[in-house]
Amino acid sequence: MSDIKLYDAIVVVTPKDFKRVESNNKRIVEYLPVRKVLFVGSKELGELVEQSSLGDKAGFVDENDIISFDDVYNCLKDIMADILLGRELPRGLVGWYYQQFLKLQYARMCKDEYYMSWDGDTVPCKNFSMFSDDGRPYFDLKHEFHQEYFITMNKLLPNLDKTIDKSFISEHMIFNCKYLVKMLEDIESNENIEGVTFWEKILHSIRLEHIQENSFSEFETFGTYMTINYPDVYNYRDWHSFRYGGYFFHPEAMTQRDYNWLAKDFFAISFEKSHSVREDHENLFNNPVYQSKLTARQMVEIAQEEAEEGYEEIWD
pLDDT in tens, 4-49: 679 999 999 999 999 988 888 999 999 999 999 999 999 999 999 9
Q: Is the CB of residue 13 less than 8 Å from the CB of residue 40?
A: yes
Nearest residue to 27 via CA among 287, 262, 254:
254
Looking at residue 307, its pLDDT comes to: 73
Angle among Cα 251, 93, 86 to the nearest 5 degrees reads 145
Average pLDDT of every residue of the chain = 94
Q: Is the CB of residue 184 less than 8 Å from the CB of residue 199?
A: no
Band the pLDDT of 273: cuts 50, 70, 90: confident
pLDDT tens profile 161-214 = 999 999 999 999 999 999 999 999 999 999 999 999 999 999 999 999 999 988
Domain map (residue ranges) of the chain:
8-238, 242-306
How many CB atoms within 10 Å of residue 90? Answer: 12
Q: Is the CB of residue 115 less than 8 Å from the CB of residue 179?
A: no
Residues 6+ away with beta carbon under 8 Å from 93: 76, 212
Looking at residue 275, its pLDDT comes to: 86
SS3 of 149-202: HHHHHHHHCCCCCCCCCCECCCCEEEEEHHHHHHHHHHHHCCCCCCCCCHHHHH
Looking at residue 22, its pLDDT comes to: 85
| pLDDT higher than threshold 50 for residue 264 | yes
Q: Is the CB of residue 195 less than 8 Å from the CB of residue 246?
A: no
How many CB atoms within 10 Å of residue 110? Answer: 17
Distance between CA atoms of residues 147 and 160, nearest Å: 13
| pLDDT higher than threshold 60 for residue 68 | yes
Q: Is the CB of residue 235 less than 8 Å from the CB of residue 261?
A: no
Average pLDDT on 65-69 reads 98
Residues 6+ away with beta carbon under 8 Å from 296: 242, 261, 262, 264, 265, 266, 285
pLDDT tens profile 94-124 = 999 999 999 999 999 999 999 999 999 999 9
Looking at residue 315, its pLDDT comes to: 80
Q: What is the DSSP string of 243-285?
A: TTGGGT--GGG--HHHHHHHHTT-SEEE--TT----GGGTTTT
195 by Cβ neighbours in 10 Å (0-12 / 13-18 / 19+) ranks as middle
Band the pLDDT of 308: cuts 50, 70, 90: low
Which class does domain 8-238 fall in?
alpha beta
Taking the alpha carbons at both ends of the chain, their separation in whole angstroms is 26
Distance between CA atoms of residues 101 and 110, nearest Å: 15
| β-bridge pairing 138-141 and 235-238 | parallel
pLDDT tens profile 86-99 = 899 989 899 999 99
pLDDT tens profile 215-250 = 999 999 999 999 999 999 999 999 999 988 999 999
Looking at residue 4, its pLDDT comes to: 61
How many CB atoms within 10 Å of residue 252? Answer: 11
Looking at residue 312, its pLDDT comes to: 77
